[in-house]
Structure formats: C-alpha cells, structure tokens
Structure 1
Amino acid sequence: FFSYRRGWDPDNVTTPIITLAGDIITLPFLFLSLHLVIGMGGEAKLALFYIFIILGVISVFIPFSKLSSQYLKKILIESTPIMLIGGLLGTFSGSILGNSFEGLIGIAGILTMMPAFLEDGGAIGGILAAKFSSALHIGSLEYSLTPPKEAWKMFLSMHLIGLIVFSLIGIFAFFISKSLSVEVLPLHEMIAISLIAGEILILIVNFMAYYASVISFKHGIDPDNVTIPIITSMMDIIGTGCLILVLILFGVL
C-alpha cells in the first residue's frame, strides 16, 4: 500500500521486504520457542501439543464455513498443497545444506556469504514471480510454451539486478569476514564466486518462475498462491548447488 502510494511497483518492494522480514522474525521466534519448550514439563508439552492440534483443525475448517468468503477458500485450496510440498522440499534442502556444512565450513568466507546469497536469490525469484503473476492477471503476458519477448525483458532485468546485488554480496562478505578476523578468499575471488553463482541461480529461477506462473494460470490457479512458495522452498538447495558448482570450477572445493 505504502509503496503504491509513492508510485513504486509493489512487486519490486513487497516480496524482498517480506522475504527478509520472514527470516529476521522467524529465526528469533524459533530459538525462543525452543527455549520455552525445553523448559516445560512433560504434561505442559502434551497440553501445548493438543492445543495446537485443535487450533490447526479449526483453522482448516473455518475457511469452508459460511463465515469465510469464496476467495479465502480458493487461497486455501490452492496454497495448502503447495505449502506442504514446499515444507517437504525445504526440509530436504535443509538436510542437503546440513550435509554440505562440513565441506563449506573450511572454505574461507563462504559461510559469511551464504545467508545473504540465498536470501537475495529468493527475493529476486519472488520479484519475478510476482511480476509474471501481475502480467498474467492484467493480460499483458499470455501463455506460451516458449517465453515471449516480455518475459525475456524481465529475465534480462533480473540478471542486471543480479550483477549489482551479488557483486555487493561478495564485497560485504569479504569485509565482514575481515572485520571478524576470519580467514577469507581474496576480494576478487569472493566477488567472482558470488557473481557467477548468482547469475547461474537467476538463470534457473527465471524459467522456474515463468513456467510455474503460466502453467498454474492456464489451469485456473492463481500464480500468487503457488509460484513464490515453490521458488522459496527450492532456493536453499538450488542456491547451495550453484555455489558448490562454482567453488568446484574455481578449484576451491
């Protein structure tokens, strides 16, 4: 709302902010919840478990009651399967990242780079998905097996954004590592690794966002309900894979 009032495209603003805020808010609450649950007794944990089960059941049935609108039902029906699949993919991605942790921890400065790299990769994918969804809804983009000219322009804009964003990630990771007295690769290597891996990531995300948007739209599903969850849930495994690939090419890993 505020971005629209100022003449900014909400697709370019809301998704990165929400993606960033999600991590900033979720992680502290996750650790707080862990601390609280560990400190509870057995009966309190069981009672809390049943309370959340009841709340979960209620939250599922309320949208199908007379109190909710048809639009809310549509969101639930379309989003729930994708969110469940996204949760499974996110868990799988986390396990892959965990298995790669020991190999990555010995690479100077890469762990400093990784959170921002994955975060901004997801944000760029979210921006593109939101743009495709808006274009499909207003009719400026039509379904096509091969991306039309308008889609290629969006692809190019994401790559141009990536040139700036991923270069800065490499620079920031270098100086943050230096300030923390962490051994780090040379500055030019940090920039090159971040930039090349980021551009490969954007290339993959471009086509993921396009085909997820147009296929869902063709089948009568709102792309807003499916594309961003798909991209964000796949970002950890794809982004980590891109980084590992570039590290292998550079002979670092």
Structure 2
Amino acid sequence: MQETDIRETTPNEIEKDNLKKIIKQTFPLLFISLIGSLFAGLILGGMEETLKTIPGLIVVVPAVLDMRGNIYGALGSRLSTGLHQGLIEPKLIYERNLIVAISAALFNGGVVSIVLGASAYLTLNILKIKVISLFELIAITFLSGITSGLILTVIVLISLFIGFKKGIDPDNLVGPVVTVSGDIFSILILFLVAKLIIGGI
C-alpha cells in the first residue's frame, strides 16, 4: 500500500497563510479607498465658491472628516467584534446589541456635531475671523452629522454583513469602508446642508 504523506502545518506556514489572506482581502479595498478619497477631494474642490460665501465653513471640514472616522470606525469595530463572538447576527433585523451600537454611534455623532459647531464659532470669534451665526453653524454641523451618520451606518452594516457571509474578516473591511464612505458622504452632505441652510440650492 502507498503511504499517505501526512504532516502537521507549522506555525510559520499558518502565519504566512494568514498574511496572504489579509493582503488578498485588504488590497482591493485600500485601492478603492484611495480612489474614493480622490473623489472626495474633487467634491471639496467643487465647494470652493460655497466655502468663500459661507464664512467659517472651511474650518469645520477637517474636524467633520476626523469625527466620522473616529465614531463610525468605532461602530465598525464593535460590529466586527460582535460578529466574531456570535453576539450579532449578520442580518438587518431588530437585535438589541445591534441597536445599542447604532444608537450610541448616532448619539455621539449628534452631540459631537453640536460641540464642533459651537467650538468653531467661538474660536473664530476669538481670532476675529468672520463667521456665520452660531445657530447657522451648529445647524449645518448637526444636520450634516446626523444625515451622513445614518448613511454611513447603513453602508457599514451592509458591507460588514455581506463580507462576513462571504468569509471576509470584518476587521479588514472596517477601515477602508469607513474611510471611503466617510470622506465622500461627509463632504457631500456638509455641502448640501450648508447650501440649503444659508441660501438654497
């Protein structure tokens, strides 16, 4: 009889396989993220006239982008952990752990948006830089924050759930998905809300 060659997989081989899997899963997503960031830059470039006519708006743009990444990156991480531990099912159904995670992200986004608008207004006034009214600036940051937050939540949920079902590690999806969708929708929604509140679209 022919002997079957059976050998155990070494730790180094497992590590190499894991590395290959991570690279295979993340590289296309990082490329898409890069293209998305460039597209977000084009949107920001198209906002030049709006930024000129709405004093103080340019100041909140970097903070808005950073806030989205922090809040919805954390949401993605919580969902990823929940999926790995079996605490969250990869389905768009009413589930307590899922609702708590989403509610926390939206609440944090709303509160931070208000603080951001007020802080920007106060800082610009201290520096004697022209700025729109406090109400207008807070309205812009809050409404754009909630709107883009809802959109990002849906995108993160669908992306992680579909990826998880297809065997893709959700941890590898979180960063690129939040980055590309956050950059594009945060800037686009901020632009539309600002135009709507200040002078109509």
State the TM-score, normalizing by the size of structure 1.
Answer: 0.70
5+ residue gaps, structure 2: 1-11
Q: Distance in 1 between matches of 2:169 and 2:124?
A: 43
Q: For residues 144 and 46 of structure 2, what CA distance do their matches in structure 1 show?
A: 20
Aligned twin of 2:28: 81
| 2:184 match | 237
* 1:1-253 alignment, distance < 5 Å: 69-146=16-93, 148-252=95-199
Give the number of equivalent residue pairs. 189
With a CA cutoff of 8 Å and minimum separation of 6, indicate the structure with the bigger relative contact order: 2
Q: Report the Cα distance in structure 2 between the residues aligned to 1:124 and 1:78, rounded to whole angstroms.
A: 23
Unaligned runs of 5+ in 1: 1-64
8 Å CA contact 2:60, 2:116 repeated in 1: yes
Runs of 4+ deviating beyond 2 Å: 65-69, 145-150
**Residue-by-residue CA offset, 1:64-123 (whole Å, 9 max, x unaligned):** x96952211111010001001111111111112112123223211111111101110121
Query: TM-score when scaled to structure 2?
Result: 0.87
Superposition CA RMSD, Å: 1.9
Name the CA distance, whole Å, in 2 between partners of 1:78 and 1:154.
Answer: 25
Q: Distance in 2 between matches of 1:228 and 1:252?
A: 35
Percent identity at matched positions?
31
CA–CA separation in structure 2 for the residues paired with 1:191 and 1:134 = 34
Residue 47 of structure 2 aligns to a residue whose secondary structure is: helix
